Amino acid sequence: MKSKILKIIVIMIACITILWRIGIYNRKSTIIQKPVILVSGFDENQTGIINELEYVNKEYNYIRVGNKLLKEGRFDEAIEEFNVVLKRNRETASLIDAKVGLINVYEKKHNYKESLKRLEALVEKYKVPVTNIFRIPDEERLKYLKYAYEGNYDLAVLHAQKAAEASSKLPNRKGKPREDYVERLNDIRSAKVYIESLKKE
């Protein structure tokens, strides 16, 4: 956790330095009425920061493409994009996003076992207690994935509903559940209807 915070601080300092060192100023003088542009570059010791920023940007692009493919229903291609970041295994915010992306893809594919396994691995590393407002939606998600995997769709729907309700209590939600939780609730409901229709045949 400390290393993540340290990296974030380094990146923020780098951004501030970039904005400060590569400054474009319009300065008007009484003698010269043209804008003056001041540009300075990085010295040799600062190129590592640029490389780190470029690396983070590349990883973010894999996440962005993966999420786009997921929305388009191109699940196998989305898995490939998320796995690129996962295989690099660098402690960046993109690594967490890749893990979440894979959880979402496997759930969309109705592979509840794989989705549950990956979410459990992610949640067990949380530092906040189970009762924390930010953790409750994921705890409920764990429950509905477990029940969906076991084929108990009544309880799966119940806990998917609770997950959506818990997400509505997060800051800045104004009582509205997060869209991704509503979508997953609707998916679980559809799966329940489909399974029940098979039983009737």
pLDDT at position 176 is 94
Report which of 120, 91, 115 is spatially closest to residue 104, judged by C-alpha positions. 115
What integer best gives the mean pLDDT of the chain?
A: 83
CA–CA dist 17, 119 (Å, integer)? 38
Average pLDDT of the residues in 129-143: 93
Structure confidence at residue 34 as a pLDDT band (50, 70, 90):
low
Residue 42 in this model has a pLDDT that exceeds 80: no
Reply yes or no on whether the pLDDT at 18 is more than 60: no
What pLDDT is recorded for position 1?
A: 59
Q: Is residue 26's pLDDT more than 80? A: no
Q: Find the mean pLDDT for residues 43-55.
A: 69
> Domain residues of the chain, as ranges?
52-109, 113-201
- How far apart CA 87 and CA 84 sit, in angstroms, is 5
Residue 105 near residue 78, CB atoms below 8 Å: yes
pLDDT higher than threshold 80 for residue 142 = yes
pLDDT of residue 199: 75
Q: What confidence tier does 16 reach under pLDDT thresholds 50, 70, 90?
A: low
Cα angle value 148/150/152 (rounded, 5°): 60
